[in-house]
Amino acid sequence: MMVWEKGWKVLIATLTGLSEQDLLKNISIRGENHMVIEAIERQMAHYAYHVGQIVYIGKQLKDNNWKSLSIPKGKSEEYLKEMLEKHQDK
């Protein structure tokens, strides 16, 4: 967890330190040119892929004890009904 947290802190600090002009600069990743904003998008997709792998392994390990991170399978209609009722009161 310490390595995980340290990595996210580095990412957030780096993103926070970028200016609007920095996002349009060109950088090279493995010899391929990208604007900084494109490189960020590429990296975020890469992170999402790995988080998906972690979730997949977690589901395998927990088996029937797995608790969904989002709307549980087969519960979309129930969730939608709850959300509509919740927002209707406001």
- Residue 70's pLDDT is what? 87
- pLDDT at 11 > cutoff 70: yes
- Residue 72's pLDDT is what? 83
Scanning 63-89, the segments in alpha helix (DSSP H) are 76-88
The domain spans of the chain are 22-88
Strands 26-29 and 32-35: antiparallel
| pLDDT over 70 percentage in the chain | 98
State the pTM of this model.
Answer: 0.66
Helix, strand or coil, per DSSP, at residue 13: helix
- Residue 90's pLDDT is what? 61
- Closest C-alpha to 25, from 37, 14, 13: 37
